[in-house]
Amino acid sequence: MSTYRAPLRDMRFVIEELVGLQDISALPGCAAVTSDLVSAVFGEASKFASQVLAPLNRVGDEQGAQLIEGEVRTPPGFKQAYEQFVAGGWNGLSGEACYGGQGLPNLVAMPVQEMWNSANLAFCLCPMLTSGVMDALTLTGTPEQRATYLPRLTAGEWTGTMNLTEPQAGSDLSAVRTRAVRESGQYRIHGTKIFITWGEHDLARNIVHLVLARTPDAPQGVKGISLFLVPKFLVAADGALGARNDVHCLSLEHKLGIHASPTCVLAYGEHEGAIGYLVGEESRGLEYMFIMMNQARLAVGLEGVALAERAYQQARAYAQTRVQGRAIGQTSEERVAIIRHPDVKRMLASMKAHTEAMRALAYSAAAALDKSRRHPDDGERKRNQALVDFLIPIVKGWCTECGVEVASTGVQVHGGRGYIEDTGAAQLLRDARITTIYEGTTGIQAADLVGRKLARERGATAHALIGEMRSLLPQLAGCANAAVAVAHAALAQAIEDLSAATRWVVDTQSSDPAAVAAVSVPFLRLWGVAAGGWLMARAALIADVRLNADVEPEFYAAKIATARYYAEHILPQSSLLAKIVVGGAQSVLAFSEQQF
Amino acid sequence: MKVLVAVKRVVDPNIKVRIKADGSGVDLANVKMAINPFCEIAVEQAIRMKEAGTVSEIVVVSIGLPQCQETLRTALAMGADRGILVETDVEVQPLAVAKVLKAIIAKENPALVIVGKQAVDDDCNQSGQMLAALLGWPQAAFISKIEVAGDHADITREVDGGLEKLAIKLPAVVTTDLRLNEPRYVTLPNIMKAKKKPIEVIKADTLGIDIAPRLKTLKVEEPPKRGAGVKLADVAELVNKLKNEAKVI
Amino acid sequence: MSILVIAEHDNKELKPGLANTVAAATQLGADVHVLVAGSDCAAVAAAAGKIAGVTKVLIADAPQYAAPLAENMAALVVTLADKYTHILAAASVQGKNFMPRMAALLDVSQISDISAIVSADTFVRPIYAGSVLATVQSQDRIKVITVRITGFDPAGAAAAAAPTEAVAAVADSGLSEFKGNELTKSSRPELIGARVIVSGGRGMGSGENFKLLEALADKLGAAVGASRAAVDSGFVPNDYQVGQTGKIVAPELYIAVGISGAIQHLAGMKDSKVIVAINKDAEAPIFAIANYWLVDDLFKVVPELTSAL
């Protein structure tokens, strides 16, 4: 495995030049978030990623988490790494200052999380889930719950989990059966939850489970589900740990990837009943989950970016050193590194262009999320909330699907060696494969995009964003750079495709929702491809200005080359995807089940 | 006791440097920079001595471009108290470093100066020894242990044959070797706090010191490459090659 | 004008490297003097006079030079410096210790660790852990130089011994006091100057396992070295370290065992004539500079090799 090096230059480019760190620094509470602070934070985070987390990725994959007499043992080195992670204060990256966090905006936290995800996805899932529980309690917890749990979760002293899925309730949470029985100020929880990431482990002293369950008199379906906090060890008012609660890990799943992340079957209330505390109000559990899920989905989209980056670095290192064959047209006998072969170059260019476009999109969504929460103007907050709501299924769906493809291309660059576990390329593909599934499959994301996000507001946000993309065209047209001209033509076409497909979806959703559903994934993909192309074109424009001023010519020339590749190889997919969206639904629906 | 630590901003030692096309130097554009590893050990040592109660204040100094403030911030985030940047765009060679530090020391009066034994860019290994000379202070280079006892320090140095013990009078200059300590990871809260610690910027030309380089780099080039070797099947083949082809045994 | 070379010794024997440094000095001029500063060091001075190219040996024999403290050594050389165009010492720990101090007292720069001489004022020196060679020109009146001895073949023996001359000692500085040393005892050759070196890395797993290498070294009459990783892991003492900031070696044969090949290690040994690498990781960077390599378990290969020799 090559050594992971955080792509700090590209991260800084996206944050400072493309998305605009100064807009975020101007938000209330963000004055300290200046370029030099960001650089210091990124520098240390990248060191931690390269030196502590990345070296454990292989051993985590090979040895995995193990269940021994009801206790989960993490792979060698994970516990020490987690202790270092906590001692470094990294768990409090974006946690609120009043609970001991640093309160850094998402635009700064996201690149840091990308580094950690690149270095060791399985490890990172633990703090990611903790962060989800922190968000939930911040939004809906009682003052006592917040005071007791948030400082410890923020510090990373305790970790958190999300308990949604049950054997019969996967994507359809209305089928949740876990019961919560009221009992003087608390509840007794009984039921089985599956796929609980980091549901049991030896990294921290306590684990705080958030559990979806039904109260006895609750209505059927989604409306009757409430959210409960169930600590592994009961907690006294002063935070001291008490008795072991009645929640136990029955087994660990044997998975395709992320072996070091224990995926647990948790049994609640096999004996006297697990003691749980209501979070927020009864029957509003799913609503709370969806608030949190937005952020979690953004985080998973980022995992796609992170794994793509890691796969790209690995493939690039291999291609630079693997000598095989002669260069085309070469007369000497000299054998060359495979990076000289045009098809290998094409694969690396595809990996690089996808990764950079995905990063730009994910960070843009992070900035919108920051503005939706912190902007002093209510209108701006609402506008950005709508934007981030719209972007989240695209970031989640597109970046994870591309992440898998990029990781797969990474294996391909290695040839036969890629299919062997030695190089680490195969692990990245296996690890990436979950990202299109958990926190809502790509299909669920697409359904969310066309249903909740698009149709509900008749495409208002989508069309506003298309308008913003269109407004870039005159600037592109005015640029003398030939590569930018290529990007201009490709983007102009993509905007037409996007606009037509979006209109079709908005118009068809009410009359024929099945037709829209049948092509919703290609539609989501179209949005990813086009939005990525828009951001890459903007990047090219910025790079052109810098190049003309002779600033860092190497970096900016590469940025323009990447934007041009994107415009010629990736963006043209928009026409194809739009054609599928507008004309492809009936061939899907026409299949009878017997024909499969 | 006040300690002064000097830190240098260098190319991240994990990065393979590239030579400029015209051979005039190493290409530093768009290269990740970091605190010199031996300087990091020096900062760590000062912090450990402060944590142990021997040291009351740690001043870190860097000399060079405005970006050296980042290096100072790293030292401040590790636990140093305040920073001084002597700003210049001149290539500052070891003798000039020693002269600048001497001027700063005249104002700061530290009882101990800790510097890295060498910078991993120019690999000179000179500045600390030169500084001690200019100050007329004792020196202990390449130390792996230091214990301050009253007006002197007991030192263990790494030497070619093993270890050497010295007692040096204070004030003194010491230079760090690898085994002195293992620097800590900087914590996020300390990065945030470091932002509020003071950094004084002094323009080098206000010090009235000649810092012009004495050594002129005429060209840089890559060392000759070794010829490609061969992978052997077993020990028998290796012995045969060493005896009959390489003729070294 | 003449060239001055400072000898390194333990008052009984010269340390390896003086012959190489003298060889470098003779490229700069014909009149090469060697300074032997020590205590009861006449035997050392006599040995220094027998190196080809040495025209005079200066002896500073006084108790304060029993241990070569930087403060005393620098002060002594400064009193002699004005007679010389160049002052050289090997880039050993001792040379690196006092030479910069002496240069600063003379208000001249030092040219560290030169690996080749272009002209009387122009030298080649490795930078960036040896990944770059810089050609530098000195503008100073006296060139103070430390010499990478692997860059210069040692001078041979002289037909006749050079004359000696006593020089006045300088009073003890009183700034620092030598309190003793803990030298690694070994019956094997020293790393510096060894013809064959067997080195171990993190892959050795423990200090105990270095016995495998010692057995092999004894068969070959070799010195034993180590990578920084092995020293940092506490397998062997610090003076075993070969690398950018440890010892720079260039033996006829260097056998790297369980060493992956970080650039900082390669910096210390890549000028070896023949490099053999033994590592079970087929991707280890050390193979890129090895003449011969075996991808195999060192715990199997090393005993096999020892018994095959």
pLDDT in tens, chain A (596 residues): 778 999 999 999 999 999 999 999 999 999 999 998 999 999 999 999 999 999 999 999 999 999 998 899 999 999 999 999 999 999 999 999 999 999 999 999 999 999 999 999 999 999 999 999 999 999 899 999 999 999 999 999 999 999 999 999 888 888 899 999 999 889 999 999 999 999 999 999 999 999 999 998 888 888 889 999 999 999 998 889 999 999 999 999 999 999 999 999 999 999 999 999 999 999 999 999 887 788 899 999 999 999 999 999 999 999 998 888 899 988 888 889 999 999 999 999 999 999 999 999 999 999 999 999 999 999 999 999 999 999 999 999 999 999 999 999 999 999 999 999 988 999 999 999 999 999 999 999 999 999 989 988 999 999 999 999 999 999 999 999 999 999 999 999 999 999 999 999 999 999 999 999 999 999 999 999 999 999 999 999 999 999 999 888 889 999 999 999 999 999 999 999 999 999 999 999 999 999 99
Residue C93 has its nearest CB partner, among B137, B160, B168, at B160
Chains that touch C (3 or more CB pairs under 8 A): B
Which residue of B192, B193, B197, B199 is the best one to mutate when testing the A interface, meaning the one whose CB has the most A CBs within 10 A?
Answer: B192
Asked if the Cβ–Cβ distance from B26 to C132 is below 8 Å, we say yes
What residues in C contact B216, CB-CB < 8 Å?
136-137, 139
- Confidence band (pLDDT; 50, 70, 90) for C185? confident
What CATH class does A8-65+74-155 carry? Answer: mainly alpha
pLDDT of residue A591: 97
Angle, CA B29 vertex, CA B23 and CA B35 arms, to 5°: 110
Which residue of C292, C298, C300, C305 is the best one to mutate when testing the B interface, meaning the one whose CB has the most B CBs within 10 A?
Answer: C292
Asked if the Cβ–Cβ distance from C179 to B223 is below 8 Å, we say no
What residues in C contact B154, CB-CB < 8 Å?
179
Asked if the Cβ–Cβ distance from A43 to B34 is below 8 Å, we say yes
What residues in C contact B178, CB-CB < 8 Å?
228, 231-232, 238, 245
B197 to chain A, closest Cα gap in Å: 13
Question: Which pair of tokens denotes residue B207?
Answer: 């010090």
pLDDT of residue A59: 95
Residue B195 has its nearest CB partner, among A9, A37, A89, at A37
In chain B, the residue whose alpha carbon lies closest to the alpha carbon of A49 is B185
Residue C294 has its nearest CB partner, among B122, B238, B246, at B238
Asked if the Cβ–Cβ distance from A48 to B185 is below 8 Å, we say yes
pLDDT of C115 strictly over 80: yes
- Confidence band (pLDDT; 50, 70, 90) for B112? very high
The three-class DSSP label of residue C301 is helix
Radius of gyration of chain C (CA): 20
pLDDT of residue B163: 94
Q: Are A586 and A508 in contact (CB under 8 A)?
A: no
Please tell me which residue in A166, A356, A405, A439 is annotated as part of the active site: A439
Q: Are B170 and B112 in contact (CB under 8 A)?
A: yes
Residue C244 has its nearest CB partner, among B123, B231, B249, at B123
Residue B20 backbone dihedrals phi, psi, to 5 degrees: -60, 150
B15 to chain C, closest Cα gap in Å: 10
Which residue of B16, B85, B186 is the best one to mutate when testing the A interface, meaning the one whose CB has the most A CBs within 10 A?
Answer: B186
Average pLDDT (C68-73) is: 97
Contacts of B52 (CB under 8 A, 6+ apart): none
pLDDT of B228 strictly over 90: no
Asked if the Cβ–Cβ distance from C109 to B122 is below 8 Å, we say no
In chain A, the residue whose alpha carbon lies closest to the alpha carbon of B69 is A36
Q: Are A93 and B192 in contact (CB under 8 A)?
A: no
Cβ-Cβ contacts under 8 Å between A and B: the total is 61
Amino acid at C296: D
What residues in B contact C264, CB-CB < 8 Å?
13
Average pLDDT (C158-167) is: 95
B197 to chain C, closest Cα gap in Å: 32
CATH 2.40.110.20 residue ranges for chain A: 158-285
Which residue of A12, A44, A48, A53 is the best one to mutate when testing the B interface, meaning the one whose CB has the most B CBs within 10 A?
Answer: A44
**Average pLDDT, rounded, for chain B:** 95
C160 to chain B, closest Cα gap in Å: 31
ipTM above 0.85, yes or no: yes
CA distance linking residue A12 with residue C68, whole number of Å: 51
Chains that touch B (3 or more CB pairs under 8 A): A, C
Asked if the Cβ–Cβ distance from B188 to A89 is below 8 Å, we say yes
Asked if the Cβ–Cβ distance from B220 to C96 is below 8 Å, we say no
Q: Cis peptide before A151, with omega less than 30 degrees from 0?
A: no
What residues in C contact B164, CB-CB < 8 Å?
67, 178, 180-182
pLDDT of residue A422: 85
In chain A, the residue whose alpha carbon lies closest to the alpha carbon of B33 is A43
A128 to chain B, closest Cα gap in Å: 17
Question: Which pair of tokens denotes residue A233?
Answer: 């060890």
Nearest CA-CA partner of A260 in A432, A78, A135, A46: A78
Cβ-Cβ contacts under 8 Å between B and C: the total is 260
Question: Which pair of tokens denotes residue C153?
Answer: 């073949």
Asked if the Cβ–Cβ distance from A32 to B185 is below 8 Å, we say no
Go through chain B and tell me how many residues it has.
249
In chain B, the residue whose alpha carbon lies closest to the alpha carbon of C253 is B248
* Least confident piece of the model among A350-354, B225-229, B237-241: B225-229
Asked if the Cβ–Cβ distance from A90 to B188 is below 8 Å, we say yes
The three-class DSSP label of residue C172 is coil
In chain B, the residue whose alpha carbon lies closest to the alpha carbon of C122 is B218
CATH 1.10.540.10 residue ranges for chain A: 8-65+74-155
CA distance linking residue A67 with residue B198, whole number of Å: 51
Catalytic (active site) residue A287: no
Go through chain A and tell me how many residues it has.
596
B136 to chain A, closest Cα gap in Å: 37
Amino acid at C75: A
Exposure of C202 in the CB half-sphere (CA atoms within 13 A)? 10
Residue B178 has its nearest CB partner, among C74, C109, C228, at C228
What residues in C contact B220, CB-CB < 8 Å?
127, 132-135
Residue B159 has its nearest CB partner, among C108, C135, C181, at C181
Average pLDDT (C161-190) is: 93
Long-range contacts at A368-372 (CB < 8 A, ≥ 24 apart): A369/A106, A369/A295, A369/A298, A370/A24, A370/A27, A370/A30, A370/A105, A370/A106, A370/A107, A371/A23, A371/A24, A371/A27
Identify the CATH number of the domain defined by range A158-285.
2.40.110.20
Asked if the Cβ–Cβ distance from A40 to B32 is below 8 Å, we say no
pTM of the full structure: 0.88
DSSP A49: I
What residues in C contact B144, CB-CB < 8 Å?
238
pLDDT of residue A70: 86
Nearest CA-CA partner of C69 in C184, C180, C185, C183: C180
Rounded to 10 degrees, the C-alpha dihedral A476/A481/A486/A490 comes to: -20
pLDDT in tens, B130-186: 999 999 999 999 999 999 999 999 999 999 889 999 999 999 999 999 999 999 999
